[in-house]
Amino acid sequence: MRMRNKQRKSATLRCCGGSRCLTSVAIWSLLGCLLLLNLFSNVRHKATEYGESQLLASHHPLFRELQQVDEENIQIPPPRGKRSPRAEKRRPKRATTLVDEFLNEESQLRHIFFPGQESAIDPKKNNENDSYYYHPGRIWLDTDGNPIQAHGGGILFDKISRTYYWYGEYKDGPTYQSPQNGITRVDIIGVGCYSSKDLWTWKNEGIVLAAQETNETHDLHKSNVLERPKVIYNEKTGKYVMWMHIDDANYTKAAVGVAISDTPDGPFDYLGCQRPHGCESRDMTIFKDDDGVAYLIYSSEDNSELHIGPLTEDYLNVTSVMRRIFVGQRREAPALFKHRGTYYMITSGCTGWAPNEALAHAAESILGPWETLGNPCIGGNKVFQQTTFFSQSTFIFPLPGLPGSFIFMADRWNSADLRDSRYVWLPLIVAGPADRPLEFNFEFALWSRVSIYWHRKWRLSRVGWV
């Protein structure tokens, strides 16, 4: 932003004329020099920080392991059934893509995207090393041996109990197409909650915010929509505060709901919903900054832009401050994190249950301006990278004790059977220069690269955990 100011100054310089100009030129040149000096020291400061994180990255064995990638070579099977060459000529069939195969319930490749129970990680078999690995896309079981139901969710680390809580949509009901609008859905059951001491074994804590079965006018009536619940803790009030997308079956209500609890494992009391800042709100997340200020980020204006604004001190409402970001860019599924004073965000495009390309963004101030860094996905193959590994972002969790390392949490939606949607967790690392050169950066790496590395399986070392 400093460069923008500088350009404005040189424009002033060009406008001047006459003899008084010489003094002006001298003063402006001096100012310009000072500005450049300032800019240079700023760049050098950034470069030093960048060097430090590189040093950390290269010296930590876990970093190197997390940065490896797997490649995927998937052959699309030939279409079933014979077609006459003449018919072929008359109506050339569009080539099937991996995304078509992913969305096709009958596809022969189904097992690649949605592997069966046999290959699931089984917490009871934890004497075998393999059981400690995350297998993105496989069925993940809780400590009772049941598939985890925490879709579109996020993790809270509770400092009081030193326990991780994973909240998400509990979708263990039948998937059906709404006869009114054709939208594929599961009735609201509630918000599921799982606890863990190691981010790997998850105990089912039950449904911490339940649907309303009979009260048809209630926001949480099962015929409505509850998506993307996220929980943060408020130190001042001692309450756990949940924010979530609340909608009607037609997605016309476009609101955001709030619930609170005295304990992380609920039950949460539902307080109500609103259109924040008077605007539509669909996909959303909340982010709590180091200074205790929390923010709501939501897709608005028919999903064409994101809005971001701080919450009140009790985290129960928005304030009047709001900024519009990525206007006209149609992004959703926002997930935020912060590293070395810089804010980062991953978003997806808007293509319903179908996967699309993720983008990483960065900002020096959380309210913006936000710059787009590019697609963070590395490995798999080109289609994997262009589809966020066939998943959609939901949350980014900082790895305790390993600065610059995060768990990227995403949902692989199974639109044929939403309860069987899978979790794609992958290492996300902030290091190295951003690959898209940005405006006004003088070729210096002012932003770091955000990378999400594809692994068929990967694990966390016990070292460095809290």
Ligand X SMILES: *[C@@H]1O[C@H](CO)[C@@H](O)[C@H](O)[C@H]1NC(C)=O
Q: Residue numbers of the site for ligand X (CB under 6 A)?
A: 128-129, 180-181, 215, 217-218, 248-250, 252, 317, 320
- Of 408, 412, 409, 411, the C-alpha closest to 452 is 408
Q: Of 93, 282, 256, which Cα lies nearest the Cα of 183?
A: 282
Q: How far is the CB of 270 from ligand X (least distance, A)?
A: 8
Task: Closer to ligand X by CB, 170 or 270: give it.
Answer: 270
Strands (E), 24-130: none
The minimum distance between CB 68 and ligand X, in angstroms, equals: 16
Nearer to ligand X, 247 or 265 (CB): 247
Q: How far is the CB of 107 from ligand X (least distance, A)?
A: 31
Angle 384-387-393 from CA coordinates, rounded to 5°: 115
- The Cα 448–Cα 428 span in angstroms is 12
Residues 6+ apart with CB under 8 A from 217: none
Output phi, psi for 414, to 5 deg.
-105, 95
**Minimum CB–partner distance for residue 199 and ligand X (Å):** 20
Cα distance between residue 9 and residue 11, in whole Å: 5
Contacts of 367 (CB under 8 A, 6+ apart): 308, 309, 321, 323
Closer to ligand X by CB, 42 or 181: give it: 181
Cis bond before residue 310 (omega within 30° of 0): no
- Which residue lies nearer to ligand X by CB, 157 or 251? 251
Report how far residue 80's alpha carbon sits from residue 451's, in angstroms, rounded to the nearest whole number.
38
Closest approach of ligand X to the CB of residue 315, in Å = 12
CB of 215 to ligand X, least distance (A): 4
Q: Closer to ligand X at the Cβ: 223 or 356?
A: 223
C-alpha span between 19 and 109 (Å, rounded): 78
> What is the nearest approach in angstroms of ligand X to the Cβ of residue 182?
10
Which one, 225 or 232, has the nearer CB to ligand X?
Answer: 225
Paired sense of beta strands 392-398 and 332-339, if any = unpaired
Q: Is the Cβ of residue 311 or residue 362 nearer to ligand X in the bound state?
A: 311
